[in-house]
């Protein structure tokens, strides 16, 4: 298991400070979710953690700075499910998932039996076996999203970054994917960091939440501490009711500004 530490991290893009002085710690084997309105810096912070953008401050995996790792070493430490992954032309689902094994394949070498076994297990787990020979360009949005997750999990990295991982999934598959991630986190000791728009989803799955606004942290803690009606009203401009379910998860319910037509005066 691997702990993640972010210390004083800032990212500037096109002369604009997108992430500003963010510090947080994600203990090994836990799930942290970044929430915040559009443009808050969630995706950019994930890209900094993955080593995809330059940053100030330090990001470490168990005390080892990300910036000091070679690309193959970094790929063995952190896997990413991006928000808008590309679909390579002429590539089958199986070959796409096998891309996740690249950090373990020798230069000029080919995939081993172990690489094929890892990919096969993930195809079964994510219900992709019947699609293994289909071109990724022919998949539906939900099917491709599951293939992207399978590719990331094939890296067998201890840190998994998820940028809106359920954006293309229907409700049932979204729940299945997040529950699968949670099961793998528990069984394999994954450290998970996700960015999610849906506040109820964030409140159901994360151990710890961080609220970003304009690139800065304005709140962090449990779902009950971060997803409050006051903070959501202040930073999202939304009227909501926050309910705690019987299992301790948080449900965020939007409220209309005025009664629905025909409901005026109904108690």
Q: What is the pLDDT of residues 35-58, one digit of tens each?
A: 999 999 999 999 999 999 999 999
| 237 has a pLDDT exceeding 70 | yes
From start to end of 30-118, where are the E strands?
31-35, 56-61, 64-65, 78-81
- CA gap 88, 91 in Å, rounded: 6
Q: Regarding predicted confidence, which is higher, 159 or 245?
A: 159
| 266 has a pLDDT exceeding 90 | no
Q: For 65-69, 144-148, 263-267, which range has the lowest pLDDT when averaged over its residues?
A: 263-267
SS3 214: coil
Q: What mean pLDDT comes out for the span 107-111?
A: 81
Asked whether residue 267 is domain-assigned, the answer is: no
Residues found in the chain: 267
Q: Which CATH number fits the domain that encloses residue 123?
A: 3.40.50.300
Asked whether residue 146 is domain-assigned, the answer is: yes
Asked whether residue 31 is domain-assigned, the answer is: yes
Asked whether residue 241 is domain-assigned, the answer is: yes
Q: What mean pLDDT comes out for the span 204-231?
A: 95
Q: Is residue 4 classed exposed, middle or buried when 0-12, 13-18 and 19+ CB atoms within 10 A define those classes?
A: buried
Q: Is residue 146 classed exposed, middle or buried when 0-12, 13-18 and 19+ CB atoms within 10 A define those classes?
A: buried
- CA gap 125, 27 in Å, rounded: 26
Write the Ramachandran bin of 55: left for phi over 0, alpha for psi from -120 to 50, otherwise beta.
beta
Percentage of residues of the chain with pLDDT beyond 90: 71
SS3 259: coil
- pLDDT on residue 245: 84
| 136 has a pLDDT exceeding 70 | yes
Asked whether residue 261 is domain-assigned, the answer is: no
Asked whether residue 260 is domain-assigned, the answer is: no
Q: pLDDT digits over 153-204, tens only?
A: 999 999 999 999 887 788 888 888 899 889 889 988 899 999 999 999 999 9
- CA gap 83, 86 in Å, rounded: 10
How many Cα atoms sit within 13 Å of 52 on the Cβ side?
A: 14
> What total of structural domains would you count in the chain?
1
Asked whether residue 75 is domain-assigned, the answer is: yes
Asked whether residue 118 is domain-assigned, the answer is: yes
**Domain of 54, in residue numbers:** 4-254
pLDDT band at 258 (very low <50, low <70, confident <90, very high): confident
- pLDDT on residue 265: 57
């Amino acid at each position: 298991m691997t702990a993640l530490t972010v210390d004083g991290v800032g990212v500037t893009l096109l002369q604009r400070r997108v992430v500003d002085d963010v510090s947080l710690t994600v203990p090994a084997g836990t799930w942290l979710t970044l929430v915040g309105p559009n443009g808050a810096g969630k995706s950019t912070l994930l890209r900094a953690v993955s080593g995809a953008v330059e940053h100030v401050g330090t990001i470490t995996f168990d005390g080892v700075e990300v910036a000091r790792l070679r690309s193959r070493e970094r790929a063995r430490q952190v896997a990413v499910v991006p928000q808008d992954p590309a679909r390579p032309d002429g590539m089958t689902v199986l070959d796409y998932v096998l891309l996740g094994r690249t950090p373990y394949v020798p230069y000029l070498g080919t995939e081993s039996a172990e690489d094929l076994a890892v990919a096969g297990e993930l195809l079964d787990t994510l219900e992709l076996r019947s699609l293994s020979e289909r071109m990724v360009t022919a998949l539906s949005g939900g099917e491709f999203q599951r293939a992207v997750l399978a590719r990331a999990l094939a890296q067998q990295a201890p840190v998994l970054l998820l940028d809106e991982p359920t954006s293309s999934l229907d409700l049932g598959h979204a729940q299945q994917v997040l529950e699968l991630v949670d099961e793998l986190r528990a069984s394999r000791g994954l450290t998970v960091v996700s960015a999610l728009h849906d506040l109820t989803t964030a409140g159901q799955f994360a151990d710890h939440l961080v609220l970003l606004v304009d690139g800065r942290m304005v709140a962090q803690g449990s779902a009950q501490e971060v997803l409050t009606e006051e903070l959501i009203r202040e930073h999202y401009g939304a009227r909501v009711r926050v309910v705690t379910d019987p299992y301790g998860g948080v449900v965020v319910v939007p409220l209309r500004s005025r009664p629905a037509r025909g409901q005026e005066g109904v108690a």
